[in-house]
Amino acid sequence: MKYSNKNEAYIIIDSVPGDKSISHRAFMLSAIAEGSTYISGISICRDCLSTINCLQSMGIKIDIDISKKTAVVHGKGLYGLSKPENVLDCQNSATTMRLLSGILIAMPFDSVLSGDSSLKKRPMKRIIEPLKLMNGGIYSLNHDYAPLYIKGGKLNGIKYFSNISSAQVKSAILFAGLYAGNTTTVLEPELSRNHSELMLKDFGAGISTDYFKDTSYNFHISTTISNTDKLYSHDIHIPGDISSAAYFMAAALIIPDMHVLIRNVGINPTRTGIIKVFKQMGAYVNIYPAENSGSEPYADIEIKSSQLHGIVIEGSIIPTLIDELPVICAVSCFAQGTTIIKDAAELKVKESDRIAVMCSELSKLGADITETCDGMIINGKKTLRPSKINSYYDHRIAMTFAVLNAAIGGGINIKGSECADISYPGFYNELKKVCQKSY
């Protein structure tokens, strides 16, 4: 559908799926709050359904209206979860496994969390270590990988320095901190996604974030949570997922004469690294923030075809765009000059080794790309050609190559393309409609 404003024609994207990260947290915290929580804008992707199914297996009633993208979660309080009869199947969702571990470790029962073959390759030592330091009974049944056996019990607060900026690690510790006998503090090198902190505060938890200076005078982020007696239900609106919007932003930049307006996209500052990077590359991007959007801000994003140039992407911006780096890498193939991505070793332990996969599969298309120990080097403006590529069943990889397929006029065959449903059901139909191309 076209929209005209000041003689400019836009392709309107009225909505992308609700933010996946916020949806997970909304369901979990609503389940352990007092009373019923109404949630609008929920994501119904496979990952979030994993969280919903796990909570329902522990006695939480959740009423979902898929057509309206709403849910009502009937919370049972901090200790209201019931012992599951079977293993909790997190499927492909590391967020489900890691964050639920922080809650289950305080419950008066034992539980086991497992998942699919991909999830069983994701590192879990990063949450096992701090939760054990809190006196938590958490054990890997597979050499620091899933399945995880959790023996619930009484917890102690800790002060924990995480050497990676990971919202999942931080959130698992903070969720456990709700139940600890004293305060719990998480220190991280850079501020990772802060959806948990914002939502915990909205539910009534005592939580604060500050800066911490170590003995070498290096600054870190410090987040502290206090033991909590109750969480209180309240209405939650979930904005559109910027990670999902990223594919349409990328398509608009690299497909000639495209001009899109994506509505109601979350612009939490810990997630907007992709906007900053695209602007640094010379992209035409405008942000129109909504008024009174609450603790999770959102906006309409306007973006159109642009002449791009290479840049260096490194340091503190990396945690704010970690999931968007594959599509940024693809866009860099169309930029003039060289783009260098550094400090992104975390990409190696996602659903696939995204550094290795992007380098190997883009090379099949004729891209000039070199893998490094913590990123990649892309020399742009090379002619890309159709080829058969392997997504390795990583949804971010599959959707990235779908954008490239649209950009070069088709011919890219994506093995495992169905994995896009993990985060964005219906993505391919929406991309086809927006790009007005057939493939």
Rg (CA), the chain: 21
CB atoms within 10 A of CB 127: 28
C-alpha span between 97 and 93 (Å, rounded): 7
Which residue is catalytic, options 202, 323, 394, 421? 323
C-alpha span between 278 and 160 (Å, rounded): 34
Query: How high is the pLDDT of residue 238?
Result: 97
Burial 133-166 (b: 16+ CB within 10 A, else e): ebbbebeeeeeebbbbebebeebebbebebebbb
Query: How high is the pLDDT of residue 293?
Result: 73
C-alpha span between 63 and 49 (Å, rounded): 13
Query: How high is the pLDDT of residue 215?
Result: 61
Query: How high is the pLDDT of residue 2?
Result: 39
Query: How high is the pLDDT of residue 438?
Result: 33
Question: What's the pLDDT tens digit per position in 301-360?
Answer: 999 999 999 999 999 999 999 999 999 999 999 999 999 999 999 999 999 999 999 999
Q: Report residues of the chain scoring pLDDT below 50.
A: 1-4, 6-7, 437-439
C-alpha span between 234 and 412 (Å, rounded): 46
The Cα-based distances of 89 to 22, 117, 147, 421 in angstroms read: 20, 12, 9, 17
Q: Is 202 labeled as catalytic in the residue annotation? A: no
Q: Say which DSSP state 232 is in.
A: B
Query: How high is the pLDDT of residue 291?
Result: 83
